[in-house]
Amino acid sequence: MASISRREAIKIIGVGAGALVAGNLAWVVKALASDEATIRTLEKTVWYAPPPSSNTKYAMVIDVKACIGCRRCAYACVNENNIDPNTGIRYIQLLELEKGKSELELADPYYEKAPKKDKWYLPIQCMQCENAPCVKACPVQATWSDPDGIVVIDYNKCIGCRNCMAACPYGARHFNWKEPELEKQNVNKDVPVRSTGVVEKCTFCIHRVREGKTTKCTEACPVGARKFGNLYDPESSVRKILEGQHVFRLKEEMGTEPLIYYVG
């Protein structure tokens, strides 16, 4: 049995400690360099999603001709994103409109039976605007647009002034008027539970899409009306639709540059 001299022992410990320190330093540097993907608090840094990649721009295309207004996307979203169903928060709103009409003011958001023959359905959620009014409205920079297009909120920084909600033309942002009550077994561990007093909204399922999966609403749609993918990838379904079909975006005249497109 080979014995280790004291000198060697010190060397091994030294190297080990050095590696630990270097590793930690690298982590700290990484955390500092890409702080967009973190929740910053005054005391600590908490990761809540993998960092964004720069060669990605997520986008969604919704086929309103295919949409049957079943609201399965909205319900799946509630379960996925740790939303307390009793708070009434829905990241996805569905509007029922008369055929041939598109004024949102005349829509019915409370329809019960769907689909109806003479109606069409318009799902609305956070458009992940590239020129987002909410980001500009936030007085404390608690929300911003990540390089991959997702508009994120730092829940530990949001002061709850709700100016972003007033600024959003899509009614996409929601306030936690009370502490959400979730049953322990239903909590999705990949998604942080928001506390009372902060604003939240659709994140394009940031915890899923940054790991290569698709969003929950896309997965839940029974008619495949939603397509999700990377705009920079020439092979992605969204890119192909944008190249081959006529698309429109909601409230284009606002200049918000949404990343959700509609076809139909």
Are 134 and 144 contacting, i.e. CB atoms less than 8 angstroms apart? Answer: no
Q: Which of 168, 202, 205, 263 touches other proteins (CB under 8 A)?
A: 168
**Does 207 contact other proteins by CB under 8 A?**
no
105 vs 235 by CB, closer to other proteins: 105
Q: Which of 68, 74, 167, 247 binds other proteins (CB under 8 A)?
A: 167
Neighbours of 243 (CB within 10 A): 9
Q: Residue from 58, 120, 170, 204 that binds other proteins (CB under 8 A)?
A: 170
**Among residues 107, 151, 205, 241, the one that binds other proteins under rule CB under 8 A:** 107
Report d(CA 106, CA 74) in Å as an integer: 21
Which one of 163, 214, 218, 230 is in contact with other proteins (CB under 8 A)? 163
133 binds other proteins (CB under 8 A): yes
| Per-residue 3-state assignment (H helix, E strand, C coil) for the chain | CCCCCHHHHHHHHHHHHHHHHHHHHHHHHHHHHCHHHEEECCCCEEECCCCCCCCCCEEEEEECCCCCCCCHHHHHHHHHCCCCHHHCCCCCEEEEEECCCCCHHHCECCCCCCCCCCEEEEEECCCCCCCCHHHHHCCCCCEEECCCCCEEECCCCCCCCCHHHHHCCCCCCEECCCCCCCCHHHCCCCCCCCCCCCEECCCCCHHHHCCCCCCHHHHHCCCCCEEEEECCCCCCHHHHHHHHCCCECCCHHHCCCCCEEEEC
| Least Cβ distance, residue 122 to other proteins (angstroms) | 9
Within residues 214-253, the interface with other proteins by CB under 8 A covers none
| Six-digit token string for 181 | 């009550």
Q: Which of 109, 116, 187, 222 binds other proteins (CB under 8 A)?
A: 109
Of 3-11, 15-23, 29-37, 175-183, the segment contacting other proteins by CB under 8 A is: 175-183
Among the residue ranges 12-20, 45-53, 66-74, 132-140, the one whose residues contact other proteins (CB under 8 A): 132-140
Minimum distance from CB of 209 to other proteins (Å)? 24
- Minimum distance of other proteins from residue 212's CB (angstroms): 31
Which one among 11, 65, 178, 213 touches other proteins, defined by CB under 8 A? 178
Among 64, 114, 137, 182, binds other proteins (CB under 8 A): 137
- Separation between Cα atoms, residue 125 and residue 85, nearest integer Å: 17
Smallest gap from Cβ 24 to other proteins, in A, equals: 26
Q: Is 83 in the site for other proteins (CB under 8 A)?
A: no
Single-letter amino acid code for the residue at 263: V
Does 197 sit near other proteins (CB under 8 A)? yes
The count of residues interacting with other proteins (CB under 8 A) is 45
240 CB-near residues (< 8 Å, 6+ apart): none
Binding site for other proteins (CB under 8 A): 88-89, 93, 95, 103-110, 124, 133, 136-142, 157-163, 165-171, 174-179, 196-198, 254
